[in-house]
Amino acid sequence: MSHRPAQIAGIVRSVVARHATSIPPTTAKVVSVVEVKVSADLSYADVYLSAIDGVEHAIHTLKAQASEMRAELANDLKLHKIPTLRFHKDTTGEEGARIDDLLSKL
């Protein structure tokens, strides 16, 4: 198994995190990149985001900046194929709360 996707995920994470800090607090508060998963063929980078408030707005804002981020990645990665960025809401916190709720009902 190649470690290349994990290396690229780290670079993608730092580029997206830089852009996430530029999101105004009126749009989304405390946006963080929870996880980045890069496909084995390096075609896609799935970026999972969380925010205290307005994660959907943060996703929309970052999608609008995706071409800028891909240009930065092209400079950083020096690859023939730059992953397409796909943004998702991180649901692990919600899933954990649901499991806690189910366990408390037992």
29: which strand partners?
53
Instruction: Give the amino acid at 83.
Output: P
pLDDT one-digit tens code per residue, 29-58:
889 999 999 999 999 999 999 988 888 999
pLDDT one-digit tens code per residue, 81-103:
899 999 999 887 666 666 766 67
Q: Which of 5-9, 49-53, 63-67, 84-88 has the lowest mean pLDDT?
A: 49-53
Question: What residue numbers bound the domain in which 77 lies?
Answer: 4-104
In this predicted structure, what is the pLDDT of residue 1? 53
- Give the CATH number for residue 24: 3.30.300.20
Distance (Å, whole) CA 92 – CA 17: 19
Average pLDDT, the chain: 88
The residue written with tokens 């969380």 in the block is 50
Instruction: Give the amino acid at 98.
Output: R
Q: Are 90 and 63 in contact (CB under 8 A)?
A: no
Total of domains in the chain: 1
